Chain A
Amino acid sequence: EAGVAQSPRYKIIEKRQSVAFWCNPISGHATLYWYQQILGQGPKLLIQFQNNGVVDDSQLPKDRFSAERLKGVDSTLKIQPAKLEDSAVYLCASSRDQGTEAFFGQGTRLTVV
C-alpha cells in the first residue's frame, strides 16, 4: 500500500512570496490533515478535511493560509504572502476516517528568508 505522498520535499522562498504544497493521501482515506511543525515543537493542526469538507480550521491563519481538497482526494496548502515565522515542516496525514490512526507523509521543509 502506497503511503502519503507530499511534494516538494524542500522549498526556499523569500518573505512575501507565495508557495504551495501538494498532498496525495492513502487511497480510500476520507480524512486528511495538514500540520505545521516548527523546529523543537510538536505538530500543530492547521486544517482537517473529511472528504472535501472542512472539519476544523480553527488554527489556520486564514489571512495568509488556504487549503483545498476539491475532489475529496488530493489537497493543496498555500501560503500567500509568506513570513519568516512560516519556516517549518508542513506535514500531511490521512486516516480512513476521523476515528482511526493517522498516517503521515515525509513532509515539506519550508525555509522563508
Chain B
Amino acid sequence: AQSVSQHNHHVILSEAASLELGCNYSYGGTVNLFWYVQYPGQHLQLLLKYFSGDPLVKGIKGFEAEFIKSKFSFNLRKPSVQWSDTAEYFCAVRGNNRLAFGKGNQVVVIP
C-alpha cells in the first residue's frame, strides 16, 4: 500500500509571500496525484490533479504542482499568497485504486 508524506505541518507566512508545500509518496506503480484544500468550516475540495501528460499542472486560484517521477514528489506552489489561502492542504495519491492522504499542511496567511 502507498504512503504519503507531507512535512512542515504548520506554515505561517505573510500575504504576497510565495508558498511551496512538499509531498512525497512511496508506491512503485502508476499513480494519480491530487492536492485537496479544506478552508475553515468547509469540506475538502480539489485544487488540482495529475493523471498523465505535462508534469506541471495548474489548478484553481493560482496554484500549480509539479510531478517529478524520479523523486516520487508532487510539490504544490503558489507565487503570491492571499489571506484567503488560509486553509489546510492535503496531498493524496491513488495507486492500485486506493486513494491515500498525507497528514496535511496547516497554512496561515497573515494580512
Q: Mark A8-43, 1 if CB is under 8 A from B, else 0.
A: 000000000000000000000000010100001111
| B19 proximal to A (CB < 8 A) | no
The complex places the Cα of A43 from the Cα of B89 at a distance, in Å, of 12
* Segment from B63-71, B76-84, B99-107 that makes contact with A: B99-107
Q: Which of A43, A99, A106 has the most CB of B within 10 A?
A: A43
Cβ-defined partner of B46 (8 Å) among A35, A45, A101, A107:
A101
Interface band, chain A:
20 to 34
Residues of chain B at interface, number, CB under 8 A: 23
| B61 proximal to A (CB < 8 A) | no
| A72 proximal to B (CB < 8 A) | no
Tell me the nearest residue of chain B to A4, going by C-beta: B43
Tell me the nearest residue of chain B to A103, going by C-beta: B46
Residues of A within 8 A of B1 (CB): 58
Is the pair B103, A33 in contact by a Cβ cutoff of 8 Å?
Answer: no
A81-113, CB < 8 A from B: 91, 93, 98-99, 101-107
Residues of A within 8 A of B101 (CB): 35, 42-44
Residues of B within 8 A of A35 (CB): 101
Is the pair B99, A33 in contact by a Cβ cutoff of 8 Å?
Answer: yes
Is the pair B103, A41 in contact by a Cβ cutoff of 8 Å?
Answer: yes
Is the pair B104, A42 in contact by a Cβ cutoff of 8 Å?
Answer: yes
The complex places the Cα of A99 from the Cα of B99 at a distance, in Å, of 10
Cβ-defined partner of A45 (8 Å) among B6, B42, B99:
B99
A-B contact pairs, 22 of them (CB 8 A): A33-B99, A40-B103, A42-B6, A42-B102, A42-B104, A43-B90, A43-B101, A45-B99, A45-B100, A55-B97, A58-B1, A91-B44, A98-B97, A99-B32, A99-B51, A101-B34, A101-B49, A104-B36, A104-B43, A104-B45, A105-B43, A106-B42
10 shortest A-B CB distances, which residue pairs? A42-B101, A104-B44, A98-B97, A42-B103, A43-B101, A106-B43, A104-B43, A42-B104, A42-B102, A41-B103
